[in-house]
Amino acid sequence: MAKLDSLLFPVFDALRRQGVPLGVSDYLLAVETIRSGLGLEDAARFKELCRLLWTKSKEDQELFEIAFAELIEPQLQIVSTSELVTATPINTSPSETPPSTISSESTLKNSEFQSQSQSESKTETLDEQVPFRPKPSRQLFSFKLDRVEQPRHYYFTMRLPISQREMAGIWRHLRRPQRTGVLEDLDVEGTIDSICRTGTFIRPRLQARRRNQAKLVVLIDQQGSMAPFAPLVNAVIESIERGGLLGKVSLYYFHDCPEGFLYERPSLTSPLPLEVVLNSQAKNNSVVIISDAGAACGYYDGTRLADTKAFIKTLGTYTYLYAWLNPMPSNRWLATTAGDIATIVPMFYLDKEGLNDAVNILRGHPFPPEVGTYE
Amino acid sequence: MADLAKRQYRGDGKCPYELLPEAWTEPEPYRAAKSLIEAVNVALYLRRPLLLEGEPGCGKTRLAYAVAYELGYPLHACYIRSTSRAQDLLYDYDALSRLYDIQERSSGSTQGKALPTLPRKNYMTLGELGKAIEQSQNDIPSIVLIDEIDKADIDFPNDLLLELDRLQFNVKEVPGCSFDALKGKKREERRNLLPLIIITSNREKELPKPFLRRCLFYYIEFPDQAILKEIVKSHFQAEITPLFETAIKRFWELRSLRNWRKIPGTSEFLDWVTILERDERAKKISDKALATKPITNLPHLETLVKTQPDRDALAKLRKQDG
């Protein structure tokens, strides 16, 4: 059991660290399945079994490939396919209690096959004959000459302050289920109520189904100081689109501060007047602004502050559900424009708690006490 | 039915087992990759839901039909819409017609004696998953297909968690009516009698983590040339003429031509080959002609290229080539 653990656990741990939703029961399930004999026919089947049990999306599969290649493949390569003939399922293992003669290096030189079966007898902790367990390090030396040096691959994953999956989960909270549309559901309470009032049953009362009426307008600061945050912003946009608000998200772009125009494309082309956009999209809907608000520049810019104040005032006439997401952490806002903008708009850092608070504000929670456009 | 534990999916389109009552008997020409066959058998052994993702048109839905046919199990297909609720999969209680019936009977009683009211159970109809659980309660396993689960509202997978885990549900409108596939025993004991649930998703929405944890995940890749040939063979029972081979080659070329907005998939390819076969029988095209036509000018491209941006891009390429 210990040997199987040492084989599987590193991969499991690597996947968990990357954010794949796995739990203890998944690990135990994998161990149980392998012990019952599935996936032991060859190395490829073993890999497929682990991939089937432990990955939950295409991206997870890529992470799995890397982890598996790095951690398990080197162990598996020791076993050549000829020994897999000796693979025995769990129910015949008691009859094959191995002889206790522990082989030393000298017997290794006799024959490859003999040493393989003897090394399998060595692992006394595992009752089943799992054909490709990692061997004790002494015997590895005799096979190292046959092994080709593995080329190292580097796979760069984004380390975001919050993973895309978590973001999608938080955006899911932005829902406004309201009963609108065609009346199709039977309103049991209402029907009973009308029967009680009138004493007879004339017709049933119908009500509409609850639909998610939340609409989100996303205003994104592009280029300039926001250029290094492009992958993070893309991850946020993708998580919003996957968060369940299908079709009711509009994206607009600006640079530094939306002064009179918003752009439809990330390259800051095809402008639309600000008031037109707000009038058509933002009325009573949630608006989120993603921008560093000058925190990445590191200095205080009075004109930027004044422009932003004017913009927030305009925005406030259309909707009160707005929040500001800042990719810079809050300790970097001090003494920059962002510090002052944070007093007029609820501003949050793009991590789990900050995003949670922002979505609460977008749902209609009251602003934090010190924030507001007071004059 | 003692061989339930030994039934395996082989991917060859034949059913060597005894058919269960109400089994799916329509043969389904489906060619699965080896790893997919393995995945189905592992899911069958563990009786965990199998989540399939892949390009649209790569055969996620048809797999369930193929598995049901080969194993001789009955099939329950639930096609999810955006307005689906988890409860609809389990049962539907028609409160309205019961109310109407009661009114009718009580008004009819002014003429004679009062008629007894019908039991509530008559007004309950089981949904597909509910039927599968009922069959499991009667010791008959089945295959349940939940198609395009990401179309539904985001709460839908979460509402299904308990039912997927424990395979039991109560009908709250009918007191004392409950269905339990496990019958109080442990899951391992009744494993071979539980339904196998196959779920397909188009990746439009992110599924919640507790739901993903309970499923086994498999991504169906686009088949390679060899499997594509097998698929064509199994769909068109006649032997392969050279036209089919040329079609496969040209289709592969077309796929690698550019970054498609909607890349042509297996089902589009089969439609195209059907039309080409008809043309070949009517002597309108031969395989040599197909091989020599420029890639942007293949016949019946409208079956393969489905979006305007793709068509515009092809038209541009056509102009470039002259």
| pLDDT(B225) > 60 | yes
Q: Among A291, A168, A308, which residue's Cα sits nearest to residue A219?
A: A291
Query: Out of A38, A168, A201, whose CB is closest to B42?
Result: A38
Contact A21 B213 (CB under 8 A): yes
CA of B29 to nearest chain A CA: how many angstroms apart?
24
The letter for the amino acid at A150 is Q
Q: How many CA atoms lie within 13 A of A63 on its CB side?
A: 21
pLDDT at position A375: 54
pLDDT at position A128: 44
Residues of A in contact with B218 (CB under 8 A): 52
Contact B209 A21 (CB under 8 A): yes
pLDDT at position B162: 83
Residues of A in contact with B51 (CB under 8 A): 56
Instruction: Decide if B86 touches A, using CB distance below 8 A.
Output: no
Instruction: Decide if A168 touches B, using CB distance below 8 A.
Output: yes
Instruction: Decide if A359 touches B, using CB distance below 8 A.
Output: no
Instruction: Decide if A29 touches B, using CB distance below 8 A.
Output: yes
Instruction: Decide if A128 touches B, using CB distance below 8 A.
Output: no
User: Taking phi first (over 0 means left), then psi (-120 to 50 degrees means alpha), and beta for anything else, what does residue B219 get?
Assistant: beta
pLDDT at position B40: 93
pLDDT at position B1: 60
Residues of B in contact with A169 (CB under 8 A): 206, 208-209
Contact A61 B204 (CB under 8 A): no
pLDDT at position B115: 65
pLDDT at position A86: 42
Enter the DSSP assignment of B257: S
Contact A22 B206 (CB under 8 A): no
CA of B161 to nearest chain A CA: how many angstroms apart?
15
Contact B206 A56 (CB under 8 A): no
Contact B213 A244 (CB under 8 A): no
Q: CA triplet A31, A32, A33: central angle to 5 degrees?
A: 95
Instruction: Decide if A28 touches B, using CB distance below 8 A.
Output: no
Instruction: Decide if B97 touches A, using CB distance below 8 A.
Output: no
Beta bridge partners of B144: B76, B197
The token pair at A315 is 């925005």
Instruction: Decide if B204 touches A, using CB distance below 8 A.
Output: yes
- Contacts of A44 by beta carbon, 8 Å cutoff, 6+ apart: none
- Contacts of B312 by beta carbon, 8 Å cutoff, 6+ apart: none
Average pLDDT over residues B49-61: 87
Query: Out of A25, A204, A244, whose CB is closest to B205?
Result: A244
pLDDT at position A148: 62
Q: Are strands B50-54 and B216-220 parallel, antiparallel or unpaired?
A: parallel
CA of A278 to nearest chain B CA: how many angstroms apart?
27
> Which ranges in B109-206 belong to alpha helices (H)?
128-137, 155-166
- The residue of chain A nearest to residue B210, with distances taken between CA atoms, is A21
| pLDDT(B206) > 80 | no
Q: Chain A 197-256, CB below 8 Å of chain B: which residues?
A: 201, 204, 209, 212, 239, 242-244, 246
Contact B35 A48 (CB under 8 A): yes
Q: Among B67, B211, B199, B109, which residue's Cα sits nearest to residue B145?
A: B199
Contact A56 B205 (CB under 8 A): no
CA–CA distances in Å: residue A363 to residues A172, A230, A357, B13: 11, 26, 10, 53
pLDDT at position B200: 93
pLDDT at position A129: 44
Instruction: Decide if B5 touches A, using CB distance below 8 A.
Output: no
Nearest-Å Rg of the Cα atoms of chain B is 25
pLDDT at position A244: 66
ipTM score of complex: 0.76
pLDDT at position B51: 93
Contact B217 A26 (CB under 8 A): no
pLDDT at position B113: 60
pLDDT at position A108: 36
Per DSSP, the residues of A223-275 read: SGGGGGGHHHHHHHHHHHHHTT-TT-EEEEEESSS--SEEESSTTS-SEEEHH
| pLDDT(B157) > 90 | no
> pLDDT tens digits, residue range B126-147?
999 999 999 999 989 999 999 9
Question: B2 or A347: whose pLDDT is higher?
Answer: A347
Interface size between A and B, measured as CB pairs under 8 A: 77
Query: Out of A53, A172, A201, whose CB is closest to B216?
Result: A53
pLDDT at position B308: 86
CA of B301 to nearest chain A CA: how many angstroms apart?
30
Contact B204 A52 (CB under 8 A): no
Instruction: Decide if B79 touches A, using CB distance below 8 A.
Output: no
pLDDT at position B43: 92
| pLDDT(B152) > 90 | no
Query: Out of A36, A56, A201, whose CB is closest to B212?
Result: A56
Contact B45 A33 (CB under 8 A): yes
Instruction: Decide if A21 touches B, using CB distance below 8 A.
Output: yes
pLDDT at position B238: 65
Q: Chain A 274-303, CB below 8 Å of chain B: which residues?
A: none
Output the 3-class SS for A31-77: HHHHHCCCCCCCHHHHHHHHHHHHCCCHHHHHHHHHHHHHHCHHHHH
Contact B208 A38 (CB under 8 A): no
Q: Can you give the pLDDT of all 375 residues of chain A as single tens digits?
A: 567 777 888 888 888 888 788 888 888 888 888 888 887 778 888 888 888 989 888 888 888 888 888 887 777 766 544 344 344 343 333 333 333 333 333 333 343 444 344 444 443 334 444 445 444 444 434 444 445 666 666 667 777 888 888 888 888 888 877 788 888 888 888 888 888 888 877 788 888 887 777 889 999 998 888 888 988 999 899 888 877 666 688 999 998 888 888 999 888 888 999 989 898 888 888 999 999 888 888 888 889 899 999 999 999 899 889 999 999 998 888 888 888 899 899 999 998 889 999 998 888 888 888 787 765
pLDDT at position A100: 34
For chain A, the residue count is 375
pLDDT at position B302: 83
Residues of A in contact with B42 (CB under 8 A): 33, 38-39, 49, 52-53
Averaged pLDDT score across all residues of chain B:
85
Tell me the whole-structure pTM to 2 decimals: 0.73
- The residue of chain A nearest to residue B219, with distances taken between CA atoms, is A58
Residues of A in contact with B151 (CB under 8 A): none
Is-contact B221 B54, C-beta < 8 A?
A: yes
